Amino acid sequence: MDILIRENYDQMSVAAAGIIADLVRSKPNCVLGLATGSTPVGTYQELIRLHKEEKLDFARVKTFNLDEYLGIGIDLSLPYEKDQSYARFMWEELFKHINIKKVNFHVPDGLSSDPFKFCREYEKAIERAGGIDLQLLGIGGDGHLGFNEPGSSLYGPTHVEALTQQTLDDNFELFYQNSGIPREKMPHFAITMGIGTILKAKQNLMIASGKKKAGIVASALEGPITSQITSTALQMHPGKVTVVLDREAGANLKKIDHYQHVEALKARYFSK
């Protein structure tokens, strides 16, 4: 696991986008797993800049999103005003600004008439695409990845998950701001890639920012592996895991000096 510390959110975002861009350049038909929320917005903005200013080409890239609220979804061909779906988030924050083909991006269907069947089909679609080359991740306030809440299986596939009160509380302000939907009508379930699905990705890239995440980041990266903090499963990833943090999010790490030492060594001996 490589843990990279950057001074602030902007530097974190540029570093994360650079890792994704390197993959897109080296494998133009790569499969990306993408995340939503406030943390990856800066990463997406940098990818958009790279596309517009440096011709980063997404024409052959395929994407699969981590999750979607159950009961919410959109038709991108229709006009809209307020919409809190993650499909709309991805369209607004990334997809409409780059040259990705609509047929190549996938977000779980929160309006599926049979969400349990949809979960099985989503897994098959990822397999048909050749698996995920790089999965971008944020981390929830209780350490969850996607919507894999405390107690979720560390080997599970895409599934329907009941959301905890902490997740509802953490997400409410942004949810209400964008949708106007009151707290009592927030979706209490979501479709999410399972931890097993996430760990199948050839590479995981987790990003975190701000002092509110410092404690849970330290638990995820340096604490014991437990289903109560599903992000600890990253410690078991059989391939490559890169974590990019701003200074505040990494403040509670006990071995931060070592992580910076390792990054410097690798830059010295393995840089292109």
Which position among 46, 67, 161, 170 bears the catalytic label? 67
Rounded to whole angstroms, the Cα distance separating 144 from 138 reads 9
> Can 67 be counted among the known catalytic residues?
yes
SS3 state of residue 23: helix
Rounded to whole angstroms, the Cα distance separating 247 from 244 reads 10
Which position among 68, 93, 109, 149 bears the catalytic label? 149
Rounded to whole angstroms, the Cα distance separating 50 from 21 reads 8
Where b means 16+ CB within 10 Å and e means fewer, 106-116 reads bbbbbebeebe
Strand order in the sheet with 203-208: 2-6, 240-246, 203-208, 134-137, 31-34, 62-65, 105-106
Which position among 2, 10, 57, 142 bears the catalytic label? 142
Which regions of 202-249 does DSSP assign to beta strands (E)?
203-208, 240-246
> Can 169 be counted among the known catalytic residues?
no
> Can 237 be counted among the known catalytic residues?
no
Q: How many of the other CB atoms lie within 10 Å of CB of 196?
A: 18
Which position among 51, 106, 123, 144 bears the catalytic label? 144
> Can 121 be counted among the known catalytic residues?
no
> Annotated catalytic sites, by residue?
67, 142, 144, 149
